[in-house]
Chains A and B, each alone.
Chain A
Amino acid sequence: MTGNALPKDPYNVIITGVGGQGNVLASRILANMLVRKGYAVTIGETFGASQRGGSVMSHLRVSRQGSWSPQIPKGKADVVVALEPTEAVRVLADYGNPDIMIVSNTRPVHSVGVIAGDLEYPPLEQTKKKAEELSARAWFIDATDEALKLGHPILGNVIMLGALAGMSPLPLDMEDFKAVMLTSLSADKLDINVRAFTLGRELVSH
């Protein structure tokens, strides 16, 4: 087994978002990158409601030891990757703690309650403030907008994973990213995904 020491074992990552945003796919890519580094990963997913606009979450436990609970204990997440900004703060209610780090996409996905006018969607500044207040550090990046510039909103996920590589202590290397992506997509699509991953890393570097 090779690879860096983890700051904590198990090291706990939550990927959160809204059904249809590709949460499960993002967790698979991340997990397989870590497996290539020799870690044992346990993933817990909620995808019953995943296609239908509900909140969805993946819990990743990264360890040198083996299988852990697929549900992270309350208050014990180390990093949150949020594909949608209000989901970034929703997660903190149960899993947040003063040392948590957050990286969040800024583009909102309005729930039907908001669309119908029954609920209000908070302004981004308010979400950012709450996230900063309840974390050691929070990054907000325009992943979907940047992905649209690259040609497809779905690349937003890869930008978010690139950002995670840039801001977390997890050993997320480009070589592992390429190898994992090549197991699920054709070689001609690799380039655009590499650009998205690199862009994500740059977006959190300052």
Chain B
Amino acid sequence: MSELFDGKEGTQHLLMGNEAIARGALEAGVRVAAGYPGTPSSEIIESLARVADKANMYVEWSVNEKVAMEVAAAGSFAELRSLTAMKQNGVNVASDFLLHLAGSGTRGGMVLVPCEDPGALSSINEGESRYFARMMELPLLEPGDFQEVKDMVKWAFELSEELRMLVVLRSVTRLSHASGMVTYGPLPPREATARFRHEGFVLDPQEGVLISAPVGYKHELQQGKIRKAREMFENSPFNTYTGPEKPEVLIITSSACTLYSKEAVHLLGLKDRVGILKLGTTWPLPVNLLTRYLSLTDTIFIVEEVIPFMEENIKVIAAERAAEIGIKKFYGKNDGTLPMVGELNPDFVIGALCKILNIEYKARPDEYTQAAQNIPFTGEAPHRELTFCPGCPHRASFWSIHNALELDGRKGFVCGDIGCYAMAMLPTGFSVVKTVHAMGSGSGIASGFGKLGQFHFDQPIVAVCGDSTFFHTAIPALINARHHKADFTLVILDNSGTAMTGFQPHPGLDVNALGDTVPSIDIADVCRSMGARVEVRDPFDLEETRKVLNELMEDEEGLKVLILRQICTLSPEKKAGKKYEMSINEEICIGENCGCNRLCTRIFRCPGLVWDTERQVTKLDEVICIGCGVCADICPAGAIQRKEAGIS
């Protein structure tokens, strides 16, 4: 979107939260941005990459989040403003470096943007990075709407430069992936010069070495900075109060929960009874400001996602200031007023306020609720289970893995990993995946299973990872496995991009985030250099894939790697046209009488094939079918037929 850069000062735009983060960084004159893709964070780096040339920036998709933070830190060390963005898990990956960076301090303004996923809408966890801010002793900001997202990012850079420390700005799915109105500010001049000064006095923060030692001195320095941040936060314009002078209930909230709280007060008509203190600076908390607002009433309701981070930190302040402000009744997560897991929404806040104030609210007539609420359970709207896309190479890969494991017969299983293919724990991947944890963990766990032979462990182990995951964290696990002679087969599902998050490039490709041609690193070469046996196949060749898998599983010695290479069906080049025109020969498909027991629809479950209950044959949905041709090899009767499609 070119208007992200070209939009004029003072104009209003509808921006996704992640675009607002990118615009804020551009207005701050960011020069270096690095990240690793992960929903809901990916559009930040993507948006910056798109305008990098115009803005005179360096932008990269790094190999993982720790390296991304290191790359961004180098920019800061060279006195440029830098940003790193990642999803919540990424902060765990980067945390080893983060601790040291917090100690060493920064030079050019540096901002870390973790985008979290309360409710795990596109994650398999709802991890929190706010505790990292406290644990690493770093300032934490949480914007409450879209305009603030942009404005706070810009301010975060200024704050970082004033304090000479990394600033954390936390977003959540409902800001990052939601959209709202943003008014643009000015963009800075394009020119910038990078220089790393390192010849000054050893403790000179601007001209000496960058290190977190001597620890006592540096740690104390860091805590001094945090104290200064707290003082600055006391007067921050991002901490706002709306409501009566003497509210019955004081809501304290932050982030997207600000919008939920506002909505609830609006719908319940409580603006004269309930006040909302919206905090933009959530670590360290502004003690004097909180003391002032806590004094307004004795009923405090804290609204936040997911863990009661503010709640517990505010209670400490309330205890310390009890003599001054009196005894408070707190509502929030700890007392069960709000749930401890999942994301919130306006209705949770409405329900809680009704309980606290003992009032009633009905969103709609009871008769309507009775008639409508059971729709998802009565067959009116059949449940939609997640599945691989039509034409997805993973469906073919897991079909072969499933069949190979069945044929092998030793109760083998798959150690899964993070990517679309994690869905292979569901029927869409024939439920073969039995462990899924962090990125690269499939290989690491398999390395451990592969050393249990002395305890009579004789189940064959298959690990899977994607091509991007291979570079992210699977490589060290593989080195470990090879070095320790662990026995397992790694299947690398190479679909030529970080597909799940929208096709960001990785080191296996000859293109980078900026679109430049760059050296690619061959996955097979890397595995061979470790001494692994390496095979490369096309997952759409079902018979050959199954065969080689069984061979590898039977070969019990050490690390074996099978690379299944087939480009993702959603990739731009693949979307261009169908490879095959598919058809069903209804004379050959004899449905229930076949003996196959509807293998194609009951087990293979591609959304492009539909069982026609009336006519008792399989039919093709031409709007959904992508023409990969794989199902032709599934049908034992040969009723599913393919012919080469003309170039579209």
Q: A106 at interface (Cβ–Cβ under 8 A)?
A: no
Tell me, rounded to whole Å, the shortest Cβ–Cβ distance linking A48 to chain B.
3
Q: A75-B363, A89-B375, A117-B611 are in contact. Are A52 and B389 (CB under 8 A)?
A: yes
Tell me, rounded to whole Å, the shortest Cβ–Cβ distance linking B378 to chain A.
9
Q: A35-B14, A73-B263 are in contact. Are A122 and B379 (CB under 8 A)?
A: yes
Instruction: Decide: B389 and A20 in contact? CB cutoff 8 A.
Output: yes
Instruction: Decide: A49 and B382 in contact? CB cutoff 8 A.
Output: no
Instruction: Decide: B610 and A71 in contact? CB cutoff 8 A.
Output: no
User: Per-residue 0/1 for B408-420: is the Cβ within 8 Å of any A Cβ (1 yes, 0 no)?
Assistant: 0000000000001
Contacts of A115 in B (CB 8 A): 601, 605-607, 609-611
User: Per-residue 0/1 for A8-50: is the Cβ within 8 Å of any B Cβ (1 yes, 0 no)?
Assistant: 0000000000101000000000011001000011111111110
Q: A174 at interface (Cβ–Cβ under 8 A)?
A: no
Please tell me which one of the listed residues A43, A47, A73, A97 contacts residue B345 in the complex, with CB atoms under 8 A apart: A73
Measured between alpha carbons, how far is A125 from B568 in the docked complex, in Å?
37
Q: B456 at interface (Cβ–Cβ under 8 A)?
A: no
Instruction: Decide: A92 and B147 in contact? CB cutoff 8 A.
Output: no
Tell me, rounded to whole Å, the shortest Cβ–Cβ distance linking A18 to chain B.
7
Measured between alpha carbons, how far is A145 from B609 in the docked complex, in Å?
18
Q: B347 at interface (Cβ–Cβ under 8 A)?
A: yes
Residues of B within 8 A of A (CB): 12-14, 39-40, 121-123, 145-147, 174-175, 177-181, 256, 259-260, 262-264, 267, 345-347, 350, 363-365, 368-369, 371-376, 379-389, 420, 423, 427-428, 570, 598, 601-603, 605-607, 609-611, 613, 621, 623-624
Q: A89-B380, A112-B605 are in contact. Are A148 and B181 (CB under 8 A)?
A: no
Contacts of B383 in A (CB 8 A): 111, 113, 119
Contacts of B256 in A (CB 8 A): 69-70
Instruction: Decide: B380 and A86 in contact? CB cutoff 8 A.
Output: yes
Residues of A within 8 A of B (CB): 18, 20, 31-32, 35, 40-49, 51-55, 66-71, 73-76, 86-87, 89-90, 92-94, 96-98, 107, 109-117, 119-122, 126-127, 130, 133-134, 144, 148, 153
Instruction: Decide: B363 and A111 in contact? CB cutoff 8 A.
Output: no
Contacts A48-B121, A74-B347, A122-B381 aside, 8 further interface pairs with beta carbons under 8 A come to A48-B40, A70-B178, A70-B180, A75-B369, A97-B364, A113-B384, A115-B605, A122-B379
Contacts of B598 in A (CB 8 A): 117
Q: What are 30 inter-chain pairs, A to B, with CB distance below 8 A?
A: A35-B181, A41-B179, A42-B179, A42-B180, A49-B386, A54-B384, A66-B145, A67-B145, A67-B259, A69-B256, A70-B174, A70-B175, A75-B369, A89-B381, A90-B376, A92-B372, A93-B372, A96-B368, A96-B372, A97-B363, A98-B365, A109-B607, A110-B607, A111-B383, A112-B605, A112-B607, A122-B379, A122-B382, A130-B380, A134-B368
Instruction: Decide: A112 and B368 in contact? CB cutoff 8 A.
Output: no
Instruction: Decide: B607 and A130 in contact? CB cutoff 8 A.
Output: no
Q: Which residue of A lies closest to B16 (CB)?
A: A43
Contacts of A67 in B (CB 8 A): 145-147, 180-181, 259
Tell me, rounded to whole Å, the shortest Cβ–Cβ distance linking B196 to chain A.
40
Residue with the highest number of chain B CB atoms closer than 10 Å, among A111, A120, A133, A153: A111
Number of A-B contacts (CB under 8 A): 196
Measured between alpha carbons, how far is A87 from B380 in the docked complex, in Å?
9
Instruction: Decide: B174 and A71 in contact? CB cutoff 8 A.
Output: yes
Contacts of B372 in A (CB 8 A): 92-93, 96, 134
Tell me, rounded to whole Å, the shortest Cβ–Cβ distance linking B571 to chain A.
12
Tell me, rounded to whole Å, the shortest Cβ–Cβ distance linking B592 to chain A.
10
Contacts of B382 in A (CB 8 A): 86, 111, 113-114, 119-122
Q: A73-B346, A116-B601 are in contact. Are A53 and B607 (CB under 8 A)?
A: yes
Measured between alpha carbons, how far is A67 from B175 in the docked complex, in Å?
11
Instruction: Decide: A71 and B346 in contact? CB cutoff 8 A.
Output: yes
Instruction: Decide: B375 and A69 in contact? CB cutoff 8 A.
Output: no
Instruction: Decide: B376 and A93 in contact? CB cutoff 8 A.
Output: yes
Measured between alpha carbons, how far is A70 from B256 in the docked complex, in Å?
9
Measured between alpha carbons, how far is A93 from B371 in the docked complex, in Å?
8
Measured between alpha carbons, how far is A45 from B18 in the docked complex, in Å?
13
Measured between alpha carbons, how far is A130 from B570 in the docked complex, in Å?
35
Tell me, rounded to whole Å, the shortest Cβ–Cβ distance linking A153 to chain B.
5
Instruction: Decide: B177 and A47 in contact? CB cutoff 8 A.
Output: yes
Instruction: Decide: A90 and B381 in contact? CB cutoff 8 A.
Output: yes
Measured between alpha carbons, how far is A49 from B120 in the docked complex, in Å?
11
Measured between alpha carbons, how far is A92 from B623 in the docked complex, in Å?
27
Measured between alpha carbons, how far is A71 from B213 in the docked complex, in Å?
47
Q: A35-B14, A73-B267, A89-B375 are in contact. Are A111 and B389 (CB under 8 A)?
A: no
Tell me, rounded to whole Å, the shortest Cβ–Cβ distance linking B624 to chain A.
7
Please tell me which one of the listed residues B13, B374, B428 contacts residue A112 in the complex, with CB atoms under 8 A apart: B428
Contacts of A31 in B (CB 8 A): 14, 179
Please tell me which one of the listed residues A20, A68, A76, A114 contacts residue B259 in the complex, with CB atoms under 8 A apart: A68
Instruction: Decide: A41 and B386 in contact? CB cutoff 8 A.
Output: no
Contacts of B373 in A (CB 8 A): 93-94
Please tell me which one of the listed residues A69, A89, A112, A126 contacts residue B260 in the complex, with CB atoms under 8 A apart: A69
Q: A53-B387, A75-B364, A122-B379 are in contact. Are A153 and B623 (CB under 8 A)?
A: yes
Q: A89-B375, A90-B375, A114-B382 are in contact. Are A45 and B611 (CB under 8 A)?
A: no
